[in-house]
Amino acid sequence: MDAQTLAASIDQTLLKPTVGFTEGARWIETNRDLGFAALCVSPFLVPIASQHLAGTRSAVCSVCGFPLGYANTETKAEEAATLVSLGCEEVDMVLHVGALIEGELDFVRDDIAAVVRAVQEQSEGGALVKVILETGYLEEEQITRACTLAVEAGAQFVKTSTGFGPRGASTRDVELMRAAVGQDVGVKAAGGIRDLETAVEMLAAGANRLGTSSGAEIVDAFKTKSV
C-alpha cells in the first residue's frame, strides 16, 4: 500500500454541528486535492462541495437520517433524493436501530430499500448508499442481521458508526460485517479512527473505506513512516 492508495480508502469527514458555510467551504477547499475517496459533509454543504470537487478524484458524500436513524421512511427517502439532486454522489444513511433491536426486520429492510430506490432513481443508478448500523448499540448477531438486510435492500456499503453513538468502530465489528456481506459489498469503518495504527487495523480487518476527520494526518503519518 502506498500513500495514494491509503488516501483513496478514506472518506474525509466534516459533520460538526458548529460548522457553518464559511468554515465548511474553507475545509472543502483544503481537502479537495488530497486524493480522498470522498469528502463527507453535512447536507447543507453539498452544493458547495459539488462545485469545489468537480474534476477531482473525491466524490461528494453526505448523510441521511443522521445521526439517529429514526425519521420516517418517506422523510429519509426524500432527503436522500434531495441530496443527490444537489450533487451528492454517496449517501450514508442511518438504519432504524430501534426497529432492528425489536426484530422488525421487514421494516428495517424496507426502510433501507426506500432510500436506495430514491437514490438510484435520482442518480440513474450512479450514486452509492452506505448503511450506518451504529454497532455500539448492537449485539454481534444483530450486526450480522443488519448487514444481511442492507444487502437484501440493495445497498452498496455497510458502515459501522455515525461517530455520535455510544462508541466508534472496532476491528471485531469490521470482521463481522465483512463476513456477513462477502466481497461484493463495501465495508466502511467509522468513528474513533484518528491515527495510522487504527486505520491500518481496520483495513486489515476487512474495511475498504474509512470514515474519519483525521484523514490528512493519517496519510501524513504514513508518508513519514515510509521515508
Q: Is 76 a catalytic residue?
A: no
- Would you say 150 and 112 are in contact if contact means Cβ atoms under 8 Å apart? yes
Whole-angstrom distance, CA of residue 65 vs CA of residue 90? 14
| Catalytic-labelled residue, pool 11, 76, 130, 188 | 188
| Catalytic-labelled residue, pool 92, 111, 130, 173 | 92
Beta strands in 65-208 (DSSP E): 90-94, 128-132, 157-159, 186-190
Q: Judge residue 220's burial from the number of C-beta atoms within 10 Å of its C-beta, 0-12 exposed, 13-18 middle, 19 or more buried.
A: middle
Q: Is 225 a catalytic residue?
A: no
| Bridge partner residues of 135 (DSSP) | none
Q: Is 33 a catalytic residue?
A: no
- Would you say 152 and 111 are in contact if contact means Cβ atoms under 8 Å apart? no
CA trace torsion 197, 129, 186, 96 (10° rounding): 80
| Catalytic-labelled residue, pool 76, 130, 159, 173 | 159
> What residues act catalytically?
92, 159, 188
